[in-house]
Chains A and B, each alone.
Chain A
């Protein structure tokens, strides 16, 4: 019975979370233009409850990696992700953030997921705004199901803690 209540409570919380994603745009390259277009009134990401770009990672729970990530940027990106509020989600925006894209050389990171766990990948160079909205809806489904990377990690940590307490 208690389990039922907590799982329903989690569902309700996830429903709230998926319509109030606070995004932190980590914009490094030309994909930023498409990001602006998505955020602007024509495509209007506000319709999905993600209208508030926060310019501090501590106030956000959705990291949008928009553009090429270089190896030199790796530590900064990792640190931004570590500072974000839990539970948090990550979108790799564009093919460079997803796989490195056409950069196959000494300086480009082969995908931002080398450094932070990514929930949704958006292909395209750059992606159409419709693709971004599609990705956001996919992410919302994921948030509702509770199987984002950080949600799973938090669940796992909770179970481990409970098991450790039971052993004592």
Chain B
């Protein structure tokens, strides 16, 4: 049903749409980063689109990702390390889910980011509901949203170093704030 939306975006922005796909009936478009703001404004304001509900924003770390057919054993030891060259330097996908109550259609907008340059324009000025979710994405993945009114950690404490949902964050690494003084030493 949202195929109309995909066609409209493609017709209006042409090359800015890198790829489109359909996941279980949900339309997905991948767009270029420098056109994200224009496309988002079009999706929100055009009467035929009118995506007024910001459902969620999150990121995907593709560091160990392989296409479905090539997926090997799930064992961690056999996972290939992140190969920046093979993946063209692309590592993160930021993913916005939008919904229109008026037209009852929905659309997922993705932007691909390089490992070395994790910036993209914030959509909080358009949908205030993305404010805390963009902060969460920053907190967990270190994606920097330009133009966000208050981009700082939301779940974790300020002393935390690194971004825990990145695939290269060690799963058993802990950053305690406080420990028992009587346990330190030879107990």
A74-B176, A104-B172, A107-B155 given. 18 additional CB < 8 A pairs?
A71-B174, A72-B155, A72-B156, A72-B177, A74-B179, A78-B178, A104-B171, A105-B171, A106-B164, A106-B173, A106-B175, A107-B164, A109-B176, A110-B174, A114-B179, A114-B180, A115-B179, A117-B180
Question: Which chain B positions have C-beta within 8 A of A117?
Answer: 180, 182
Q: How far is the CA of A159 from the CA of B98 in the complex (A)?
A: 68
Decide yes or no: A106 and B176 within 8 Å by CB, A72-B156, A72-B157 being known contacts: no
Inter-subunit contact A74/B177 (CB<8 Å):
yes
Residues in chain A within 8 A of chain B (CB atoms): 71-72, 74-75, 78, 104-107, 109-110, 113-117
Q: How far is the CA of A75 from the CA of B157 in the complex (A)?
A: 11
Q: How far is the CA of A141 from the CA of B50 in the complex (A)?
A: 67
Question: Which chain B positions have C-beta within 8 A of A114?
Answer: 176, 179-180, 183
Q: Secondary structure of the B side of the interface?
A: loop
Least CB distance from B137 to A in Å reads 16
Q: How far is the CA of A117 from the CA of B180 in the complex (A)?
A: 8
Inter-subunit contact B174/A75 (CB<8 Å):
no
Least CB distance from A77 to B in Å reads 8
Inter-subunit contact A107/B156 (CB<8 Å):
yes
Question: Which chain B positions have C-beta within 8 A of A104?
Answer: 171-172
Inter-subunit contact A116/B180 (CB<8 Å):
yes
Listed A/B pairs (27) with beta-carbon separation below 8 Å: A71-B157, A71-B175, A71-B176, A71-B177, A72-B155, A72-B156, A72-B157, A72-B177, A74-B176, A74-B177, A75-B177, A105-B171, A105-B172, A106-B169, A106-B173, A106-B174, A106-B175, A107-B155, A107-B156, A107-B164, A110-B174, A114-B179, A114-B183, A115-B180, A116-B180, A117-B180, A117-B182
